[in-house]
Structure 1
Amino acid sequence: MATKRPPPAASSSLVKRSRVEDEDGSDAAASSSLVPITSSRDGKDKGLVRSVKRTSGLSDPILSLNGGHQGEILDVKFSLDGEYIAAAGGDKSISIWKTYSPNNHVTSLQSHNKAVICLAFLPPSTKTINGFPSSTSSLPLLLSGSADSTLILWSPLSPPPNNKLRRFRHHKGIVNCVAPSPADATLFASGSDDGDVCIWNTEEKQPLESLKVGYPVTALEWTKDGSGLFVGGIDNQIHLYDLHRKQILYSLNLHTDTITSLTLSPSGSYLFSFSLDSTLRVWDVRPFAISSSNGDAAGEVNEEDRASQERLYRTLSGALNGADALLIKGGWSRDGRRIILGSGDRTCVVWDVESEKILYKLPGHRGTCTAAAYHPKEPIVVSSSTDGQLLLGEIEP
């Protein structure tokens, strides 16, 4: 049964982060105390504090959220209204934090028997679940997937035992990914090491259907209209499944290692994928027809290669998968112009998509940055790490 863990050890502290050009401060967030902001890039004038133009409603430009977990954090998400943060821990728990001051550790959700791997907030709905209202801005609902092979639907702001709404059992392996449908707030998909992709209704304990992919599934994302599902796994490819016709529409095959993250842009036109090959690719997934005129002179055409080349929009480099080979995750900015991603070099990386340039390489973590996310309304980002802390801060809009 889910219980509320008291949060006396949890705390937030002000720390420094640098832009990609900065030369010092790579471990600035390691301290739980205030780190002075230097006035020069070589760090000599440490007694001077530079005025910082504020860009958000955070109490401080950078905050370290500590004490929510006893060990690594594997995923982090903002609630859809941006008021709360949820973090998935290797210690079997989920921590819930307030985004804005005071940055309290609100509660911990505990019911999984093994590490919590993935999280997703449900979009708002007017329906009820177990007699409780579905996700609203004041009472969001949260899905979690775990190494114990189950998923749980939570009302994280409700007092226990009412915060645990339903447990979903079907998978026979680690649940690596969960994705709510953008078209129906009661539908979501999950992917597992058992090779199944399951489509669920939040009101049913068993899946509505199961796609037998045949290999471990590590990343999922819906199409904008909810009719299709992008599936990534250890076959190094991304397959778009048409859920109505029960067939693969096309595959994207330019990665050379396991897919760790799939995220659709706010417009629904572009999909980004990250892989253990340390490349981030942005794909044009609008439903245009692939030209049949491409191919070699002999007329031998590899349909998957052609689809991949024609749909590839940008290739972004600068993030590393890390020696621990974790499923590193990221997200889009609300305007679709930027992407943020965790990295194995203890940073999180922010790119401008059009120019393919790195805007920030944000330091502060002491272990692999496992996940990073953009706030849905303000220029705020959050990142999680194997070091057990969350870094929350503002950047330039």
Structure 2
Amino acid sequence: MPPKKKTTKTTKARTPPPAETKKRKTRSKTPPPPETTTTKTEGEEEEEEDGNGAIVETTKKRKTLTHPRKEGVSRRRTTSSLEAPIVLLEGHAGAVNDVKFSADGKFIATAGSDACVRLWSYDFDDEDEDEEEEEKKPKKKKNNIENRFILRGHKNAVLSLAFLSDQFSIASASADKSIRVWDVEYAEQVKKYDKSHSRAINCVSANERGTSLIVSASDDGFSKVFDARVAKKEVMQLKHKYPVVSCAFRQDGLECATSGADGIVRTWDLRYATSFQETTNEEVRARVKNDVLCLDTKMTALTMKEGHEDIVTGLAYSYPDGFELASVGMDGKCNLFDLKPFRENADARVEMTYKGVQTDFEKRVIKCCASSPSISANVSSKPTYVSSGSACGNVFVWDQKTGKIKYKLPGHKGSCLSVAFHPFEPVLASAGADGKVFLGELAL
């Protein structure tokens, strides 16, 4: 009789009812419901100091926000790799001034007023892999977002970030007048530009293709271009009359845009700079100091004087060609400029004005971004979107062509300062003055 009982139990375990199978899978992959809402993993922190005086802190602390689930209910089928429609990242002791995705989508970088840069790992499913290879690999839990490294070295608030075209480095700009370049994989500082600007650096941007170039915007009235292969100084200066607040590099690295306290958006064709190195004009040579090429506002490719009535705080080129430029200013306007060289009315280049952005008395620097067509589910038309933060705490997402509001996402208890689209998945990241970073899933 005992052997027969064992045989009966084994048969039931092999063919359980469908409901029991879902329960067992849910319990084996996820912790109990009270621990699913907030998961924390704390470990010992290590600090290492490199040769440039930067401190790299590695930590295992992670905090994700997911929706609690009931037993027997399977996970909602999402259009991205996020475990929940909204994921919360916390860790900065102060406002988060900027957030960026790497070009391959595997890293998230956040810049905080606590003078540190945090690198988060973002794991997503690769659709190109075969199903047989996926079955052989050990299954890992989705939404495995962890704070991999904490990069310390700046002596003041980090205001802006930019991933370089090599996909292994990231540049950070700070109010301590310095720009630092970090290696993403090893979390080491590889370059430091601390003598190029005399005042705070408000923004930094980099190209996505070609040689790794960096453009900066500073309160000293200069926007400078750096070659990542040269670690000593800048290679070009773009002179302005007023402080420069925002800048952006076109994807190919041949053109950049700047704007600042005068509310004028300018584009610079960097290919014109080569002629000044070969010229024999003494007046031009007088502006060239220490092999650094100097350009002024008279040499801009396009100058958009109309569109904003106050300081322009954010610029972003459209994808994939960069023929359009999105901007957001302290006047509560978010504009889209047409950068095509031939236009009937060259003075009026505002193609679209997006409504919804608000400003307050604090006049914080708010950034905007544009999405890549690859994240859209509509393969036939592949529309692109423009997003911007707002002082009201909401994130606005507009259709780039029609100007209609696609999403108005709440969540931040303070001003939303920066937004970023994932390069492949319909996920939008937003950083706010409340020290929180939200990852939201979009149906695009």
CA distance in 1, matches of 2:80, 2:422: 10
CA distance in 2, matches of 1:8, 1:385: 23
Contact in 2 for aligned 1:319/1:343 (Cα 8 Å): yes
The secondary structure found in structure 2 opposite 1:307 is coil
CA distance in 1, matches of 2:119, 2:54: 13
In structure 2, relative to structure 1, the CA distance for the partners of 1:284 and 1:2 (3 Å cut) is: same
Q: What is residue 387 of structure 1 aligned with on the other side?
A: 434
Match of 1:108 among 141, 150, 154: 150
Contact in 1 for aligned 2:394/2:416 (Cα 8 Å): yes
CA distance in 2, matches of 1:93, 1:362: 27
CA distance in 1, matches of 2:76, 2:403: 27
Contact in 1 for aligned 2:165/2:209 (Cα 8 Å): no
CA distance in 2, matches of 1:371, 1:202: 25
Q: What is residue 330 of structure 1 aligned with on the other side?
A: 368
Match of 1:95 among 106, 110, 118: 118
How far has the Cα of 1:377 moved from its partner? 0.2
Match of 2:346 among 284, 307, 321: 307
Q: CA RMSD in A?
A: 2.1
Segment drifting more, 329-338 vs 113-122: 329-338
Amino acid at match of 2:204: V
Match of 1:256 among 277, 302, 309: 309
Match of 2:193 among 168, 171, 175: 168
Match of 2:239 among 212, 215, 221: 212
How far has the Cα of 1:263 moved from its partner? 0.6
Deviation per CA, 1:110-163: give whole Å up to 9, x if none.
000000000000113xxxxxxxxxx3xxxx21000000000000013205xxx1
Segment drifting more, 340-349 vs 184-193: 184-193
Q: What is residue 18 of structure 1 aligned with on the other side?
A: none
After TM superposition, the score normalised by the length of structure 2 is: 0.71
CA distance in 1, matches of 2:415, 2:215: 27
Q: What is residue 269 of structure 2 aligned with on the other side?
A: 242
Deviation per CA, 1:45-90: give whole Å up to 9, x if none.
xxxx9985511011222110112x1111000000111111000000
Q: What is residue 380 of structure 2 aligned with on the other side?
A: none
The answer to whether structure 1 residue 274 and structure 2 residue 328 are counterparts is: yes
In structure 2, relative to structure 1, the CA distance for the partners of 1:183 and 1:123 (3 Å cut) is: closer
How far has the Cα of 1:217 moved from its partner? 0.6
Segment drifting more, 174-183 vs 235-244: 174-183
The secondary structure found in structure 1 opposite 2:301 is strand
How far has the Cα of 1:370 moved from its partner? 0.6
Q: What is residue 347 of structure 1 aligned with on the other side?
A: 394
Pairing 1:32-47 to 2, within 5 Å after superposition? 34=68
The secondary structure found in structure 2 opposite 1:5 is strand
CA distance in 1, matches of 2:361, 2:203: 21
Amino acid at match of 1:60: A
In structure 2, relative to structure 1, the CA distance for the partners of 1:50 and 1:383 (3 Å cut) is: farther
Match of 2:356 among 313, 318, 332: 318
Structure showing greater relative contact order (alpha-carbon pairs closer than 8 Å, 6 or more residues apart) = 1
Contact in 1 for aligned 2:62/2:145 (Cα 8 Å): no
How far has the Cα of 1:106 moved from its partner? 0.7
Amino acid at match of 2:191: R
The share of aligned pairs that are identical, in percent, is: 31
Q: What is residue 369 of structure 1 aligned with on the other side?
A: 416
Structure 2's unaligned 5+ residue stretches are 1-52, 124-142, 274-294, 374-382
How far has the Cα of 1:214 moved from its partner? 2.2
Contact in 2 for aligned 1:122/1:185 (Cα 8 Å): no
Query: How many residues are paired up?
Result: 333
The secondary structure found in structure 2 opposite 1:382 is strand
How far has the Cα of 1:183 moved from its partner? 4.6
CA distance in 2, matches of 1:58, 1:183: 28
In structure 2, relative to structure 1, the CA distance for the partners of 1:86 and 1:7 (3 Å cut) is: same
In structure 2, relative to structure 1, the CA distance for the partners of 1:51 and 1:95 (3 Å cut) is: closer
Match of 2:227 among 201, 216, 239: 201
Deviation per CA, 1:327-356: give whole Å up to 9, x if none.
111211111611111111111111112221
CA distance in 2, matches of 1:93, 1:122: 19
Amino acid at match of 1:94: V
CA distance in 1, matches of 2:89, 2:177: 28
Amino acid at match of 1:275: G
Pairing 1:57-136 to 2, within 5 Å after superposition? 57-67=81-91, 69-100=92-123, 101-124=143-166, 135=167
